[in-house]
Amino acid sequence: MSNADIKSNRPLSPHIQIFKPILTMVMSIVHRITGAALYFGTVLVAWWLIAAASGPAYFDFVNEIYGSFLGRLILFGFTWALVHHMLGGIRHFIWDMGYGFGPQAREWLVRANLAGSIVITILLWIIGYAVR
């Protein structure tokens, strides 16, 4: 058997278009995206802290940007990314402990991660506005 025959008889590796997207797969991708988004959010927090240390005029300027509709929308997204990534980390920790590998447990953990991140984010913003 020649080398060409061996290569032609090997199965091809499936690509992303063959897989049916399931919730755990999508949440894994979202977990990576939120991790990357947290870098951007950390820059926003650092900018706000630098503005606070720079003086009242610059601090007011940055607060005006963050207080705009677009600024609040970005901060809301950052809050959701932070909470979602944290809950995803807890989900991965549960898996690291050897639990939650069954099909129903995996689905439940993923759904709890998604629902929990939305609910906690909304609650944090409601509390933030109530305290303000």
Is residue 70 in a domain?
yes
State the pTM of this model: 0.82
Burial tier of 63 (Cβ tally within 10 Å: 0-12, 13-18, 19+): middle
Is residue 51 in a domain?
yes
Q: What is the pLDDT of residue 22?
A: 86
Is residue 72 in a domain?
yes
Is residue 78 in a domain?
yes
Tell me the C-alpha distance between 61 and 81, whole Å.
25
Q: What is the pLDDT of residue 59?
A: 97
Q: What is the pLDDT of residue 19?
A: 72
Q: What is the pLDDT of residue 20?
A: 78
> Which residues belong to the annotated binding site for heme?
85
- Kindly give the parts of the chain with pLDDT less than 50: none
- Asked if residue 128 lies in contact with residue 45, where contact means CB atoms within 8 angstroms, the answer is no
Q: What is the pLDDT of residue 2?
A: 58
Which residue shows structure tokens 């984010």?
121
Q: What is the pLDDT of residue 7?
A: 61
The residue range of the domain holding 64 is 21-131
Distance of CA 6 to the CA centre of its chain: 43
- Asked if residue 88 lies in contact with residue 31, where contact means CB atoms within 8 angstroms, the answer is yes
Tell me the C-alpha distance between 125 and 132, whole Å.
10
Q: What is the pLDDT of residue 36?
A: 94
Q: What is the pLDDT of residue 86?
A: 96
Is residue 7 in a domain?
no
Q: Total structural domains in the chain?
A: 1
The HSE-up count of residue 64 (CA atoms within 13 Å, CB side) is 6
Is residue 3 in a domain?
no
CATH code assigned at 56: 1.20.1300.10
Alpha-carbon distances, residue 66 vs 10, 69, 79 (angstroms): 56, 8, 13
> Which residues belong to the annotated binding site?
85
Q: What is the pLDDT of residue 46?
A: 97
Q: What is the pLDDT of residue 35?
A: 93
Joined tokens for residue 38: 């947290």
Q: What is the pLDDT of residue 1?
A: 55
Nearest 5°: the CA angle 35, 37, 39 is 85
